[in-house]
Amino acid sequence: MARVWIDVLTPKQAKLFASMARQSSGLIDPVFTTRRYEYTVAVLKRFGYQPMVFGSYGTDLRSKLVEEFRRGLEVLEKVPSFDFAMSYPNPLAARVSFGLGKPYIAFTDSPHSVAVSRLSLPLATAVVFSSCIPLSEISKYVYPGTHLEMYRGVDEVQWLKNFEPSDQVLKELDLEPRTYVVARPPEHRAAYYSHGTERLEIFRSILVELLKRGYTVVYLPRYEDDELPKELQRYGKVVVPSTEQGVDGSNLVYHALAVITGGGSMAREAALLGTLGITLYPNELYVDRCIENWGLPHRRVHDVSTCLQAIEEFARDPDRYRATARSLRQSLETPLDGLKRVLHELRMR
């Protein structure tokens, strides 16, 4: 069994790699590292993994660089020897792996994230990515000879393929099915995110209108200093799950009327569960286009009225996509399928 160092930086990455490790049938022995960043540690713990936590999240270019240098030293001092590393495009994971002469396998659905792709993918031994993304969008970042492995699906299928619903999260948070929306603000401090202030204002206005119409908002903050949930409470019921305990996100999304996010993953997760997924991300993403072409309930919106109209239309028959979504999930490949092919091809088992 290969000892694998996995550095995760966001809850989505934690969910992806923890579910891969759990479903790998002993193929890999993971060592997880992460940083102090909202729900990330809680997600790993819910999957049964106790990560090593180094550093936090920088708020500007200089502090991001300082945090990365600090994390790098801690990784070198404290992470045990490993056979290879895996992560999303991650300059630290790429640099440490390269410096130690260890293979680095990168996973990505984000070729639009130019900075981290340029800083990490050139050092990758292999890159695993969705077939929704044109090969040229990945190959432009890598050296000749890098193994490029496509799988027929999207990342979110990894933890949703065999999903079976439970209502436990409704009891924990005192919610009723289809009476609430899950809200995830834009990641406006990320290096790749543009139009952050504009999208935040649209996001806020949408939630105010939904609260006025009687919907509950389950708010999943990205940053500790997010004051928007307190402001929204004057308009209606706002629930903020504990960042320490985390929440069963897939079941929370499954029972929601809609997900509204400034990013992409939660909207795709919603659509794959038959729930309306709405993204405010300003640019069209290849993986989002796939979700829509598969006939799932996914919308990219740029204004308040379009978003509210989409929710009201979906609310007329909110269960009509359930069977289609379930059948599609079961037919698609997962990133783990791609990893198994990489390990076989590169004789890394």
pLDDT at 195: 53
Report residue 90's pLDDT band, with 50, 70 and 90 as the boundaries. very high
* Model confidence, pTM: 0.92
Domains present along the chain, CATH in parentheses: 2-160+332-345 (3.40.50.2000), 168-330 (3.40.50.2000)
Does the pLDDT at position 223 exceed 80?
Answer: no
Crossing angle (nearest 10°) for helices 11-22 and 335-345: 60
CA 60 to chain centre: 22
* CB of 209 closer than 8 Å to CB of 305: no
- Residue 25 burial (C-beta neighbours within 10 Å; 0-12, 13-18, 19+): exposed
CA-CA distance, 334 to 17, in Å (whole number)? 11
Q: Report the alpha-carbon distance of residue 75 to residue 145 in Å, rounded.
A: 28
Instruction: Please state the rounded mean pLDDT for residues 268-279.
Output: 98
Lowest mean pLDDT among 37-41, 72-76, 186-190: 186-190
Which whole number is the average pLDDT over 192-214?
Answer: 85
Three-class secondary structure of residue 171 per DSSP: helix
The mean pLDDT of 316-344, rounded to a whole number, is 97
Model pLDDT, residue 188: 55
pLDDT of residue 299: 97
How much is the pLDDT for 196?
A: 56
Q: Please tell me the predicted confidence (pLDDT) of residue 192.
A: 47
